[in-house]
Amino acid sequence: MSAETKTQTRYEYGGDEFVFVELSESMTLEAMFKGMAITNKLAEQNREGIIDICPGNASYMIRVDPEVLHPDELISVLKEIEASLTDYEETTIHSRLVDVPILFEDPWTYEALMKFRVNHQDPDSTDLEYSARINDFESKEELIQNINDFPFLVSMVGFVPGLPFSFQLTSQEKQIEVPKYVRPRTFTPERAFGFGGAFAVIYPVQGAGGYQLYGTAAAPILDVEQKLEDFKESMVYFRQSDILRYRSISMDEYERIRKEVEEGAFRYRTREMSFTPKDVMKNPEEFASKVMRRLYDDQR
Amino acid sequence: MINVKEPGLMTTVQDNGRNGYYSFGMPPSGAMDKYSFIVANLLVGNDENAAVLEATYLGPTLEFDCETTIAVTGGEIPPKLNGEPFGLWKPVHVEKGDVLSFNFVKSGTRVYIAVAGGIDVPIKMGSRSTYTLCGIGGFEGRALQKGDLLKTGEASNPPASTEITLSEELIPKYGNRHEIRVIMGLCSYRLTEESKKKFFDIEWTVTPDANRVGYRFKGEPLEFVEREQPFGAGSDPSNVTDLGYPIGSIQIPAGIEPIALLNDAVTGGGYATIATIISIDLFKMGQIKSNDKVKFIEVSLDEAIEARKELNGKLDKVKETIKTVSIGG
Amino acid sequence: MAEKIPVVSPIPGVFYRRESPDKDVYVNEGDEVKEGDVIGLVEVMKNFHEVTSTESGVVVSFSVENEAIIEAGQKVAIIEPK
């Protein structure tokens, strides 16, 4: 691997229990895949003293018991792993493709975003209109179409339990990038679909938030009671390396899915797929269409 | 059973915390002041990690329906049994029908109420701690309410002698001005040199916006180095590409008011973090009130690890005292 | 004349004399209150705690302004018992 990227890596202490490693200041697929490879290798080592391994977007974080594993010792291990990563672009990633139904321009996020207009950079338009304009789309419909057309890779889970930060698999020129609210909202509805920086997210529970609001996900992404089949093993559904296709749905389909959720019958449509970072980085859009064919069994 | 007659302001079931799920976005929760929490358990003969009640500012009123031993530690929120004041940091025998209540807070913020056998609530993801934001763990995932009935478990050891007196040095004192040690780092490169200095020079005031998720401070605005924002970060100079937040990390959204993230923290987001409170001083944060003054002190990693050892030494002394008194008595 | 009794807040936070901005104040200076009557609210950690009178009597004066930041144990009003 290139020497330039290595010198950019910053190793920092997060108090005495955390080591924070920034691979890149800007969001890139390369940084994300690299972080994924490093954290996977560290996990395989099963080292004593490690409490949490948290892969991030363009960084990652490890929590330790510093009396068992000194953070300096961990940092030298991490540096070794990074130096040994000659082939991470070729490493196979086993991923899950998930169809995620979204009702865009729904009444609930619309009500929330109108209530917090004074916190926004452009109080006179909606979040979708504003985002479409600053990203040079002709209309908000075109922006929604773009989100529909290219799937997103989950690059980090966090903020609150289960919230997926997802990054669109398309060339950087076509990537949507939007600022966060000038002042965060004190309220965001449950399952709101939002966008901030280069990331699309779904808020698992209602709460504060600063991302632009575009819609609402029909199905839950956090199920504390673990009632739905998809949540039997974990109350959190998404994990890093999942590929999500945010599919625009009608109010009819939204209501149908809500009913399925209430009856406990809802299951996400998923398919398995293996790929290497190289497959994605070489031509993200070609990879995206492969994902779509696989997820919908070529029937689109 | 314990009958909650009055819940207090914010009383939750907490243990050592839900560790190992940070990568799911799940904060550890758990007792904020771990020292007081552990000592409370030791005094009643529990495992160090048994679940206790953590009450903030205003103690609950609890009625016990059977004979047991309790201990109250932490902030000076003076406890009473059937109206009679009794001392913190001591095991106390209670009879069936006894009522525990509290006077107004004198110093500190949180009391820990340990009951022999621990508070028995279901274990969720390895812990009994309450994470109220998502309704996970504790008693029905929430703070206690009037009329709740709490079960207790089996004690692993006999309680300490009620004759026990911990020495002065083992009982923390809480004032209104605090020094909190931090390790500089993470994204501190984003602050101007002048603002880094200012961060340590200012005596910060804790705002009323201070809870288990985090504490917000008032002081003076700080400035970030001007730059063209990297792709994915968002437009404000205090924004970075969304990343993980260590527990205890301090961020300054838009440079206005620093926020220190605590036990129920959000685990990541898009604000530059500039320093992290050392783990031992997170316990101290649990006893800091709104309006208190805080000065941040920069320390090295080795000093932080040394502080952990010192605290472990203190806990060893507590255990020693308990053992000596029970043998002597 | 009976001794004047201070009403103190058990918790620190922001003191409010009304339940919400569009409502009237709970009590005015000179008003009669009964023991247990709410005379203000204190907000801390996004929780609201009612401050109640410990005596029946007349509210002589408020010791702090509406929306003042107060300490735990701080006097917020004075009551003259009847």
Q: Are residues B156 and B191 in the same domain?
A: no
Is residue B185 a contact partner of residue A13, using CB atoms and an 8 Å limit?
yes
Amino acid A174: pLDDT: 84
Q: Are residues A158 and A231 in the same domain?
A: yes
pLDDT band at A172 (very low <50, low <70, confident <90, very high): confident
Q: Do B23 and A18 touch (CB under 8 A)?
A: no
Per-residue pLDDT tens over the stretch B217-237: 999 999 999 999 999 888 889
ipTM for the assembly: 0.96
Per-residue pLDDT tens over the stretch C5-34: 999 998 888 999 998 888 899 999 999 999
Instruction: Please indicate, yes or no, if residue B274 is contained in any of the structural domains.
Output: yes
Q: Are residues B159 and B181 in the same domain?
A: no
Q: CB-CB: which of C8, C46, C72 is closest to B57?
A: C72
pLDDT band at A284 (very low <50, low <70, confident <90, very high): confident
Q: Are residues B25 and B126 in the same domain?
A: yes
Per-residue pLDDT tens over the stretch A246-282: 999 999 999 999 999 999 999 999 999 999 999 988 8
Q: Are residues B247 and B136 in the same domain?
A: no
Instruction: Please indicate, yes or no, if residue B101 is contained in any of the structural domains.
Output: yes
Amino acid A300: pLDDT: 52
Amino acid B155: pLDDT: 80
DSSP character at residue B317: H
Q: Say how far apart CA C61 and CA B220 lie, in whole Å.
A: 34
Q: How much of chain A exceeds pLDDT 90, in percent?
A: 84
Q: Are residues B182 and B156 in the same domain?
A: no
Provide the domain limits for residue A207.
94-295
Regions in chain B scoring below 50 on pLDDT:
329
pLDDT band at C79 (very low <50, low <70, confident <90, very high): very high
Q: Are residues A268 and A290 in the same domain?
A: yes
How far does the CA of residue C68 sit from the closest CA of chain B (Å)? 11
Amino acid C1: pLDDT: 55
Q: Are residues A186 and A275 in the same domain?
A: yes
Q: Say how far apart CA A127 and CA B121 lie, in whole Å.
A: 43
Amino acid B182: pLDDT: 98
Q: What is the mean pLDDT of chain B?
A: 95
Per-residue pLDDT tens over the stretch A213-246: 999 999 999 999 999 999 999 999 999 999 999 9
| Domain annotation for chain C: domains and CATH numbers | 5-81 (2.40.50.100)
The domain spanning residue A79 has which CATH number?
3.30.1360.40
Per-residue pLDDT tens over the stretch A3-48: 344 447 999 999 999 999 999 999 998 999 999 999 999 999 999 9
Q: Are residues A72 and A104 in the same domain?
A: no
Please say if the pLDDT value at position A97 is more than 80: yes
Instruction: Please indicate, yes or no, if residue B311 is contained in any of the structural domains.
Output: no
Q: Do B25 and A157 touch (CB under 8 A)?
A: yes
Q: Are residues A12 and A146 in the same domain?
A: no
Per-position DSSP letters for C7-53, written without gaps between them? EE-SS-EEEESBSSTTSPBS--TT-EE-TT-EEEEEEETTEEEEEE-
Amino acid A87: pLDDT: 84
Provide the domain limits for residue B217.
177-298
Phi then psi dihedrals of residue B127, to 5 deg:
-150, 155
The domain spanning residue B202 has which CATH number?
2.40.100.10
Q: Are residues B95 and B138 in the same domain?
A: yes
Q: Are residues A246 and A116 in the same domain?
A: yes
Q: Are residues B161 and B17 in the same domain?
A: yes
Q: Are residues A48 and A69 in the same domain?
A: yes
Mean pLDDT of A185-189: 92
User: Mutate which of A11, A18, A59, A175 to test chain B, going by most B C-beta atoms within 10 A?
Assistant: A18
How far does the CA of residue B234 sit from the closest CA of chain C (Å)? 28
CB atoms within 10 A of CB B87: 12
Q: Are residues B154 and B191 in the same domain?
A: no
CA dihedral C10, C12, C15, C20 (to 10 degrees): -90
Is residue B262 a contact partner of residue B250, using CB atoms and an 8 Å limit?
no
